[in-house]
Structure 1
Amino acid sequence: MTGRTESPLAAAPAAPPPSDYRLAVPDGWERIVLDSPERWAHRIDKLVKRGLRRTQATPQLEAALAERMRAQAEAAQANGGVEMYVVNQILGQVPVSAGLVVTVLRPSPGTEAGDLGDIARALALGADAAADDVTLVDLPAGPAVRHRYLRRPAADDPDGNKLAVAHLDVYLAVPHSDLRLLLSFSTPAAPPLEPLVEALVGLFDSVARTLQWMA
């Protein structure tokens, strides 16, 4: 009888997916965990009160801002968002506003997760060639799809938005799983912030490069 030796690769158990991730953000980026509406509402109320403490904001403005942030948190959580960061700082004499939402993307039931190339192709097909930039990049956490774009609100925007917003979306494959992690950065691209957009996008790229998978 001839003995049969199994391939060590065939016998090796599949590596487990990471249990979490770590992301380094600059000082002043306020984190809101999207775990439950009660907890994030309390966190948002505290952030709004602190941010408007030295201003002449009316209680009505404070309430409206908190309500808008709660709506943003609710929409992010409904789409798989797990945390968000808000930035409201003064650089020199210029007020800076930016945001980051971290989302876990899951394939629809009964479907297989596409690879990053599929994501890049889908984004490129729907892109505005003059305003969108879709590329495959290598990050310390692995290959990623980088999608930079500018969006202008419609004239009849129901929320009354009138400012163009610069976006940077970074898609990463979660190792050994069919999940994808999406980092969605955004900042207004209208005066007086417009000259800082390039610098902020560079900062967003730097934050994306800090991502680490945790065992």
Structure 2
Amino acid sequence: MTDHTESQGSAVAVGPPSDYRLAVPDGWDRIVLDSPERWGHRIDKLVKRRLRRTHATPQLEAALAERMRAQAEAAQANGGVEMYVVDQVLGQVPVSAGLVVTVLRPSPGTEPGDLGDIARSLALRSDAEDTGEAKDVSDTGAAGAGDVTLVDLPAGPAVRHRYLRRPAADDPDGNRLALAHLDVYLAVPRSDQRLLLSFSTPTAPPLEPLVEALVTLFDSVARTLQWMA
């Protein structure tokens, strides 16, 4: 007699992972992008702790907290689920970096496309900027020509995109520092969603000599990603 219970159980479809796990170094402060009230409270505590031993004015503290809240709001609006901020001193060099984790979902009625499509789109954009067919990135804040590769991570195949982003001439925050970016796109198993890890760090002195080491660290963090059942 056929064991119907076993045959039915083996036919149950396995769904997409319920979550992911990511290992980051000590000193990377995590902000969950759940609600403005909750992440605003976390940001206020983080800013107070970081500025505790400085001579920062209340106005500077408030401005920094407001800037971080605006960054969190923009990340959440684009599908961001969490962000990490890094503000440490390695040796005698202050290190600043960040990571935003974003869930990318296809627009209603559209096909998600595979990682190859993402790689080709990023490569075409970089080629256009390399040949001057794109807008002047120094005035628009757009990404400069970058390096796009397909890589294999423990969590699965991924698209690795390294590039430089220059600030817009009219940046509302007055930012004038170019940022080195490393974006890693992964396909969420058994899903039409993509997970994007967006790392960034300023390239200006005194951090400039550490950029390559930080990009290597970003790659190492991406390799710790694990899907959770």
TM-score (norm 1): 0.93
For residue 126 of structure 1, give the secondary structure of its aligned residue in structure 2: helix
The aligned counterpart of 1:210 is 224
Matches within 5 A, 1:1-215: 12-127=11-126, 128-129=129-130, 131-215=145-229
- Deviation of residue 155 (structure 1)? 2.2
Structure 2 residues without counterparts, runs of 5 or longer:
1-6, 131-143
Any idea what the Cα deviations from partners look like across 1:144-191, whole Å, max 9, x if unmatched? Answer: 000000011122222211000000000000000000000000000111
Aligned residues: 206
For residue 15 of structure 2, give the secondary structure of its aligned residue in structure 1: coil
One-letter code aligned to 1:183: L
For residue 69 of structure 1, give the secondary structure of its aligned residue in structure 2: helix
Any idea what the Cα deviations from partners look like across 1:91-132, whole Å, max 9, x if unmatched? Answer: 111110000000000000001111000000111111144740
- RMSD over aligned Cα, in angstroms? 1.3
Structure 1 residues without counterparts, runs of 5 or longer:
1-7
Query: Which stretches of structure 1, 4 residues or longer, exceed 4 Å deviation after superposition?
Result: none
CA distance in 1, matches of 2:18, 2:208: 38
One-letter code aligned to 1:169: D
The aligned counterpart of 2:4 is none
TM-score (norm 2): 0.87
- Deviation of residue 14 (structure 1)? 2.8
One-letter code aligned to 1:202: T
CA distance in 1, matches of 2:31, 2:168: 28
CA distance in 1, matches of 2:173, 2:50: 22
